[in-house]
Amino acid sequence: MKIPSNILTLIAGIALTLICLWYGQNHGLMPIAASAEARTVDELFNFMMTIATGLFLLIEGVLIISIFKFRRRKGDLTDGPPIEGNIPLEIVWTAIPAVIVFILAIYSFEVYNKMGGLDPMASHDMGTQMAHHHHNDNLVALDLEGQEMALGLGASPGNKDEESLVVDVNGLQYAWLFTYPDTGVVSGELHVPVNRQVTLNISAADVIHAFWVPQLRLKQDAVPGREAQLTFVPDRVGEYPIICAELCGAYHGAMKTTLFIETEAEYNQWVQNNTFAQESFLDEAVANYHVP
Amino acid sequence: MSTATETKENPVSQNGHGSSHKQRKWQDYFTFSTDHKVIGIQYLVTSFFFYFIGGFLAEIVRTELATPDPDLVQPEMYNQMFTMHGTIMLFLWIIPAGAAFANYLIPLMIGAEDMAFPRLNAVAFWMIPVGGVLLISSFFVGAPQAGWTSYPPLSLMSGKWGEEIWIMSLLILGTSSILGALNFGITILTMRIPEMDLNSMPLFCWSMLATSALVLIGTPVLAAALILLSFDLIAGTSFFNPVGGGDPIIYQHMFWFYSHPAVYIMVMPFFGVISEVIPVHARKPIFGYRAIAYSSLAIAFLGLIVWAHHMFTSGTPGWLRMFFMATTMLIAVPTGIKIFSWCATIWGGKIELNSAMLFGIGFISSFLIGGLSGVMVAAVPFDIHVHDTYFIVAHFHYVLFGGSVFALFAGLYHWFGKMTGRMLNETWGRIHFALTFIGFNMTFLPMHQLGLLGMNRRIALYDPQFQSLNQVCTIGSYILAVSTLPLVINVLWSLIKGKKAGRNPWRALTLEWQTTSPPAIENFESEPVLWAGPYEYGIDSENEDEEDVEDMLTEVSAQS
């Protein structure tokens, strides 16, 4: 009897491993990913999903088996075995989660670093004073006065020297306003060319908002009186929702717009169309774009 | 079982009803009573009163979300609904319900006559209805609509008096919570019967010790944040208002310094409840007593240094995000210890699958999901995606409903007999469990997917592509609403017609089962005797019969 039960456990273990490995990759819960960083976040999620599925099946399995196998029989008033603990077993189930979260923390750290989260330019909070707007990435690491620092996610370590398309993003009840300092275009939609690094300088005019593009897996609160940044390289042409994710008032749910990731040609065409249309109030837009 | 006990025992010292000792009258429950058992029941009934209000608000929210358009209530009204739903469920249901069990059980479990400060205890209770009624009254001036988190500057700009009432109400409820915690901690530390050392206390006392520490450390910080917010609101100061140079992020830090530990304040008493319920109905000692006891302390300690994980997308620099990610993930270790230990307690036992045990097992299986998604959202890169989405809504409902509420019901079915002298009906209990379990999972499981796919929270209108999943959630929430009917019927019917409980219907070993049901006014007719550890089941089952436990119980009561 001993050998079959061992084999059963072994088979159950293999089945459980296979199920969670398969489900971790095929859960289909994430939307399309529109940047390389988004796909690294998905890999992290898949890894967590694999472990979570395994633990879920293990614990629920134990509970379900217990319900059927270890029921009190009618009329049996005796107690179960007086087992009060098992030190080696307890050490094992303390150590395994500890190792798992250790691996998970290191992995998450790596992913966060890849996303540019530890870029000194973008990952520091400089308090409530407003950041000064000029962008010279090379000097950032040496900038002791903190003038160039903002919150959020910076450039991925591999893309540090690449020049960004800078867009100033202002959140206000209940709309997003995008200003392109290079061309003076002001728009309610965000248009960016594919495969080019984009840096968003995010601020808020009234209450806290949050800039979220699910397909980029990126979110950053827009806090009045503070400057935040998101840097990313979109690599998939398409239209994606830009959602305000922080409660900002009664019509919070309506505070939505669209991110257009376009080919270089489409993007240039769009800039051109809008530059002509907006030339007249260019000056005004530049003067106003970071008033809280 | 109870009938066998009754015939054997001295009819005078036994029996909850019509016995020699004085009983509480129903009027006593409406007075400023200093009896911890009266106060415990006052807490419980009051908290359930608010549960029905909070639940009603939740049903409005879910009905609104059945369609993508804001068509049932005005958007401002919708924001008031979910703000009040969150506030009521947390501060007027779960926290008072935890205090209800703590009040009722701690003195009984440690063999004391009452709490250390009975009058303070009564004051703490009576602040709950005052704070609660005040909060509900805010509907007359326009309820708060900035969410239960009440972040400035939005909270400073949307309805001044509703917001101010919310602040005042929370200050009152927070004070009540502090007074309660003071009482629980000191009672547990100083009033145990002499034979009971810390390591032979029931685990519920350990979890209340940890909870009380968190309340005492965290709540004053919330009070400070709320008072400063109130100044900004009423006196026009600029502590948090960026228009005058204030910093809204400071509020978030202060708020979460309390409100993250508050999650443990809400869930840890119920960890204790589960540690009591499961061994009794599995007829097996709790697996790893010390590991469970000390893991409560570890959770309490770690719970104090994880608050900024609620702010990963907010005004937090990268290094801070990494620090709080690490500490948050660490909490998985002591929490895992608890879940594994509960499972090991059940494994190999002789399970009596009654309503209390069903809710106990339901608790483990639901809380597990909340724990697993909790580790996920600790990872900063993933949290950036799901923060403020329905994934978070799913996560915290699995923690607070799956955790606290299932265990609350487990405790209710377990101790109802002790509290009232009559047992709850098992059939209605099972129906209640089935409806709750199905309704709960149907409401909150699909929310994980909604959040991942891109549905943000606190919205009255949403993208039509999410409608079908939302309708599943809404139907689930209706099942949850229906699930309260068998509970109400069961409680009312059992109060009058329920089976007599007797002293110890579950053949349990903790001290509260040594006295009558309901217990005498000062709990024990004579000093209770600690003749076994709280979970020493099965010790005499090797060669002797279970009857011995009964004999010993009879002996104990006969000595009086």
Nearest CA in chain A to B349: A80
CB proximity A66 to B under 8 Å = yes
- Per-residue pLDDT tens over the stretch B260-303: 999 999 999 999 999 999 999 999 999 999 999 999 999 999 99
Q: In this structure, what token pair is assigned to residue A31?
A: 């939307």
* A208–B248 CB contact, under 8 Å: yes
Partner-chain contact B382 A90, CB within 8 Å: no
pLDDT 10s digits, B398-423: 999 999 999 999 999 999 999 999 99
Q: In what order do the strands lie in the sheet with A218-222?
A: A190-193, A256-262, A238-244, A209-213, A218-222
Instruction: Write the DSSP string, B426-488.
Output: HHHHHHHHHHHHHHHHHHHHHHHHHHHHTPBSS-SS--GGGHHHHHHHHHHHHHHHHHHHHHH
pLDDT band at B542 (very low <50, low <70, confident <90, very high): very low
CA distance B448 to B444: 7
Give me the mean pLDDT over the B435-460 stretch. Answer: 96
Cβ contact B448–A117 (<8 Å): no
Nearest residue in chain B measured CA to CA from A129: B245
Percent of chain A beyond pLDDT 70? Answer: 83
pLDDT at A133 over 90: no
| Sequence-ordered strand ranges (E) for chain A | 151-153, 165-172, 175-180, 185-187, 190-193, 198-204, 209-213, 218-222, 228-232, 238-244, 256-262
The whole-angstrom distance between A164's CA and the closest CA on chain B is 21
pLDDT tens readout for residues A266-277: 999 999 988 876
A186 touches chain B (CB under 8 A): no
What residues of B are in contact with residue A72 (Cβ under 8 Å)?
283, 350-352
- Weakest mean pLDDT among A128-137, B357-366, B425-434: A128-137
Q: Which pair of tokens denotes residue B527?
A: 């000093």
Contact (CB, 8 A) for A258 and A250: no
Residues forming beta bridges with residue A202, ordered by sequence position: A169, A228
Q: Using an 8 Å Cβ cutoff, are A190 and A176 in contact?
A: yes
The first and second tokens of residue B360, run together, are 């106990």
Q: State residue B16's pLDDT score.
A: 40
- Rounded Cα distance between B306 and B324, Å, is 5
Q: Name the closest residue on chain B to residue A125, using Cα atoms.
A: B317
CATH of B2-558, one of 3.30.1330.10, 1.10.3470.10, 3.40.50.300, 1.20.210.10: 1.20.210.10
Asked if residue A247 lies in contact with residue B78, where contact means CB atoms within 8 angstroms, the answer is no
Nearest to B429 by CA among B350, B496, B357: B357
Contact across the interface for B319 and A123, Cβ inside 8 Å:
yes
Q: Which of B316, B369, B462 sits opposite A253 (nearest CB)?
A: B462
Angle, vertex CA B298, rays to CA B295 and CA B299, nearest 5 = 90
Classify the phi-psi angles of A229: left when phi > 0, otherwise alpha if psi is within -120 to 50, otherwise beta.
Answer: beta
| Residue-level pLDDT at B245 | 87
Asked if A237 has any chain B CB less than 8 Å from its own CB, the reply is no
Select from A76, A85, A127 the Cβ nearest to the Cβ of B288.
Answer: A85
Residue B317 pLDDT class (50, 70, 90 cuts): confident
CA distance A126 to chain B (A): 9
Average of per-residue pLDDT values in chain A: 85
What's the complex ipTM?
Answer: 0.89
Nearest CA in chain A to B381: A112
Q: How far is CA B156 from CA B170, B228, B240, B305, B474, in A?
A: 16, 12, 9, 28, 32
Question: Chain A: nearest CA to B176, how far in angstroms?
Answer: 29
| Interatomic CA distance for residues B468 and B474, integer angstroms | 10
Q: Which of B331, B459, B470, B540 should be substituted to probe chain A, the one whose Cβ sees the most A Cβ atoms within 10 Å?
A: B459
Give tens-digit pLDDT for A163-191. 889 999 999 999 999 999 999 899 999 99
Q: Which residues of B touch A31 (CB under 8 A)?
A: 452-454
Geometric angle at alpha carbon B264, from B279 and B442, rounded to 5°: 75
Give the per-residue pLDDT at A287.
Answer: 52
pLDDT on residue A155: 80
Alpha carbon of B469: minimum distance to chain A alpha carbons (Å): 13
